Structure 1
Amino acid sequence: MSKTVCIIGAGMGGLMAGALLVKEGYQVTVLEKATRVGGSAGSYVRNKRIFPAGATIAFGLEEQGLLDTLFTKLDLKVPFVLLDHPMDVVMEDRQISLYRDKMAWENELSRVFPERRQDVIAFWRTLQQISEAVYGVTATGVSLPIARLYDLGKLPSHAITHPRSMLRLARHATRTVEDLLRAYKLDTYEPLRQFIDAQLLDAAQTDCTEAALLPSSLALTIYRQGSFYVEKGMSQLSELLAERIVELGGEVITASSVTELVYQEKKWHVTSRKKTKHYDVVVNNAGVSFGPRTSHSESKEFAWGAFRIDALLSDAFWHQELDGRPLPFAMQIVPDKERTVLHSDGHGPVYVTFQPAYDRRNEHIEDEIMMTCSIHTDAELWEELSKEAYEEKKEIVAQAMFAEIQKVLPVEEYVLYSEAGSPKTYQKYIGKSEVGGFPLTVRNAILKPKSVRSSLPQLYIAGEQSFPGPGTLSSALSGSHVARAVMKTWPLA
């Protein structure tokens, strides 16, 4: 007899779990509050154009990569462009380009950090070794914390064939990125710290002082594995998964927020705007609580919110160059110290991307460029403001972000449209204000990782709150861990 599964939230974690389960014969229903699937890796319509809700660069789509393996299992092919020069990071006194090619990358490190060239390259090569060990373990399908035998995945056989790699991981398990910097006497070398912090605040939600070395090593070096622009935007990943669920007999219901979740007589009673039904299993991918112990968000641990600007530029902007080089896909700009509003109301670099523009029918707009820019912020700073104070603050932060971009590129003369949004905007449309991810500290990532299993019967938790943590790739992996746990615990008769 088939088992029924309700997935709350059509983000990457929930959709991946749903697609893997429906492929095995489970009856899957996905309920999504928004009108479009994807969550933080989805999209929304503004000014008759499609803008990404959050993530813009994909990882793991290289052949036999972590995400490619999952999509291949589902017989899905993702259209993408491999980025050889995905990003530039603009610091106070220098600028560095990220390259996929290892030699080009080491040459760039030598150019940008000439004062400590040999130490920086030695540090980065060690970081790469640690990253490769982390990647190998992640590819085994291990899911932390290990509570069931199947949580190990293929880790035991990997450990037998890669003993030195495992020893390296054990040695670095409780170290931070700063610990590795200190080993190379680079912890006081401010230019390198500033670059690493800019990267980590986006990928690990904290700086090198607190960031766990193991997951951070992968975040800092994953560009050598490959980074990708998904054609028509990251939301295509979620839409492909949603379409696959429907093709295999499941259902994906949007604009159907869940209003009640009750466990009775070994079934979950789920009430939503468009559907009410009993299910054998529930997967919470919404990132919000529906009652005690239904979400990791109840722990009240700090997580970042985001302030962002969506803009359309004239396509004449494509002719801009940086020091004679073509524009990268994305830029991280460390704010000037005197730009105090971005250090008090915001945190970390201003993250900017330039992409082709598409209308609401997903048709390319030839004479426009889409620009998105965002910065981390404490969501609580926006909650208690009066309407007037809120609008004033929003305008001040937006102007400061534009000024930071303008110091690098003359974007303002090309702007056709722009609109800003704060954590309150995210709260209104997706039901939560904290969308920037929780910090990947040693405690969060290694010592106390959050399980995909809840303490409630037949209820699982997928997404950025669960191991392995923030990010689209990690959310997809959590979804695969959920699917495995459901299939092992609630097999089809």
Structure 2
Amino acid sequence: MTYDVVIIGSGFGSLTAAALLTKQGLSVCVLEQAKYPGGCSSSYKRKGYWFETGATTLVGLDEHMPLKYLLEQIKVSLPVRKLEIPMQVHLSDGQVLTRFNKLEQWISEAERVFGKYNQRPFWEQCYKVSQQVWRTSLEQKSFPFSTFKDLLVSGLRAKPRQLQLLPKAFRTMEDVLRKYDLLQNKLFVDFVNEQLLITAQNHLEEVNELFGATALCYTLYGNYCVPGGLINLVMPVVQYVTSRGSAVKYGHEVLKIVRQKQGYLIKTKRASFSSKYLISGIPLNNTLELYQDGQLRQRLQKFVLPPEKLNGAFTMALVLKNIDSPQVLHHQLHIPEGLPFIDSKSIFISFSHPEDKLRAPDNKVVANISTHVRHPSQHIIQDKEKLEQAIISVLVQHKLIQPHNIVSVESATPGGWIFWTKRAFGAVGGYPQYKKIKPWQMKDARLDHHGAYLCGDTVYPGQGIVGVCLSGIIATQKLLQDHY
């Protein structure tokens, strides 16, 4: 079977690239090893209930944001429901902080909880940076640069306000807090650190201002849930791709990539596929294992993060009875003493919407829970039940659930992620931000500078649905720029 482009994996970055390339008239085949599309931004069904695979929050539909750009390009609408309040954070001192989506309302709330000292200038600065970052991201789709043509195209699109962002790549969020004399506010520092983990996968001393400010401000943009789960985010894009003659094939785990004179040979357990061009939407760690070209693997090794610099996750899926979904669906709970075995200092829980009978029929509610596992290849969790009980105790303590509400509990360790998703080391959430790796030093979309490209959460810009959507846009841009 021969196509113009074969795409490995059906995560949202892959599907973004597939849709945009299909729109250009190219024949595309997406190969997915699982039975559902969407990768870590999808849903799975268990015993009649739909649970989220990984991501539970959705942003990106505001002006100058990648998801809005994609949907406008392919003229697809999504069945989304906007959240009035994106999140609440349960702090270590017992206070509940509401992350309002209006800047003024949020600043008032931050001042109420953390004190008025310099909260306003800090958040106004972060929000301004985040707006500039999102606007620039779609104006500079050739970034990061890896060819002279990238530089030329970016130079022609350069604007003075874009250059103002450059110094912020050299400052960490720790520097920004120091600038506003906020490092002595321990409650605020703890809040910033745990919030950065959600979307930047690291703490303030490592995350640069560009990524950090954008990560901290995602609740100040439109936040949405998708009735029936995030599977209904990806299915409209899948349907767009297949309705135009391209293919999405499930149960095809790719085993080998061989570069040929006229393109690529991609071998799965069930078949072989040929294509002029290739896009890998699976992690860079996994992608390099598929290549037979030792020189290429050696050349790209400098971009690969080892397991000690990655995060895994311990996840739980709950079915609850005799409970109304909270008015706020998403909650982060801080745990200063840490969780057993993994020492994580926070957990994140997302409830299904009260009107979403597709995810939770029979007047039940489903909830997804996740917490970070540092260096997942070393943290082997032997006693899942003890960790489950510790997490449930925290939720009960904060009055989000009661033990008699629980109908069923299922959990997965990083080892479960390896089995289910095949992701190396069970890593989730993308590559964490590190201050030694500037944005232009991250892996760009080109894999071999012949016809292979990369998208997903281990290539610029990284984490979250909105980030991987942008990575798919950039991979498409560079493929078309190089060959059409």
State TM-score, norm by structure 2. 0.90
Retained in 2: the 8 A contact 1:445–1:468? no
Give the whole-Å Cα distance in 2 for the aligned partners of 1:348 and 1:455.
Answer: 40
Give the whole-Å Cα distance in 1 for the aligned partners of 2:260 and 2:238.
Answer: 29
Retained in 2: the 8 A contact 1:84–1:101? no
Give the whole-Å Cα distance in 1 for the aligned partners of 2:61 and 2:405.
Answer: 33
> Which among 448, 455, 463 is matched to residue 456 of structure 2?
463
- CA distance change for structure 1 residues 110 and 63 in 2, over 3 Å: closer, same or farther? same
Question: Equivalent residue for 1:66?
Answer: 66
Residue by residue, what CA displacement relative to the aligned partner does 1:122-145 show, whole Å, maximum 9, x if unpaired? 211111222222122113143432
Residue by residue, what CA displacement relative to the aligned partner does 1:9-57 show, whole Å, maximum 9, x if unpaired? 0001111111111111111000000110111101222223221111111
Question: Equivalent residue for 2:85?
Answer: 85
Question: Equivalent residue for 1:323?
Answer: none
2:310 matches 1:303 = yes
Question: Equivalent residue for 1:103?
Answer: 104
2:386 matches 1:396 = yes
Q: Any idea what SS the aligned residue of 1:332 has?
A: strand
Gaps of 5+ in 2: none
Give the whole-Å Cα distance in 1 for the aligned partners of 2:434 and 2:152.
Answer: 24
Residue by residue, what CA displacement relative to the aligned partner does 1:75-106 show, whole Å, maximum 9, x if unpaired? 11011111221101111112211011222111
How far 1:335 moved relative to its partner? 1.0
RMSD: 2.4
- CA distance change for structure 1 residues 154 and 123 in 2, over 3 Å: closer, same or farther? farther
Retained in 1: the 8 A contact 2:42–2:54? yes
How far 1:329 moved relative to its partner? 1.5
Question: Equivalent residue for 2:408?
Answer: 417
How far 1:225 moved relative to its partner? 2.2
Gaps of 5+ in 1: 319-325, 384-389
Q: Any idea what SS the aligned residue of 1:195 has?
A: helix
- CA distance change for structure 1 residues 382 and 487 in 2, over 3 Å: closer, same or farther? same
Retained in 2: the 8 A contact 1:137–1:158? no
Give the whole-Å Cα distance in 1 for the aligned partners of 2:232 and 2:205.
Answer: 35
Residue by residue, what CA displacement relative to the aligned partner does 1:206-230 show, whole Å, maximum 9, x if unpaired? 0111111111111111222221112
How far 1:265 moved relative to its partner? 2.5
How far 1:275 moved relative to its partner? 3.0
- CA distance change for structure 1 residues 167 and 69 in 2, over 3 Å: closer, same or farther? closer
Once the two structures are overlaid, the 10-residue window that deviates more, 149-158 or 435-444, is 149-158
Matches within 5 A, 1:317-356: 317-318=324-325, 327-337=327-337, 339-341=338-340, 344-356=341-353
Matches within 5 A, 1:411-450: 411=401, 412-432=403-423, 433-450=426-443
Give the whole-Å Cα distance in 2 for the aligned partners of 1:358 and 1:445.
Answer: 43
Retained in 2: the 8 A contact 1:50–1:358? no
Fraction of identical pairs, as percent? 24
State TM-score, norm by structure 1. 0.89
Q: Any idea what SS the aligned residue of 2:463 has?
A: coil
Once the two structures are overlaid, the 10-residue window that deviates more, 19-28 or 132-141, is 132-141
Question: Equivalent residue for 2:398?
Answer: 408
Give the whole-Å Cα distance in 2 for the aligned partners of 1:155 and 1:490.
Answer: 18
2:190 matches 1:183 = no
Question: Equivalent residue for 1:113?
Answer: 114
- CA distance change for structure 1 residues 370 and 18 in 2, over 3 Å: closer, same or farther? same
Q: Any idea what SS the aligned residue of 1:373 has?
A: strand
Question: Equivalent residue for 1:262?
Answer: 258
- CA distance change for structure 1 residues 155 and 223 in 2, over 3 Å: closer, same or farther? farther
- CA distance change for structure 1 residues 445 and 419 in 2, over 3 Å: closer, same or farther? farther
> Which among 220, 225, 234 is matched to residue 221 of structure 2?
225
Retained in 2: the 8 A contact 1:464–1:475? yes
Give the whole-Å Cα distance in 1 for the aligned partners of 2:228 and 2:110.
Answer: 32
Question: Equivalent residue for 2:445?
Answer: 452
How far 1:357 moved relative to its partner? 8.5
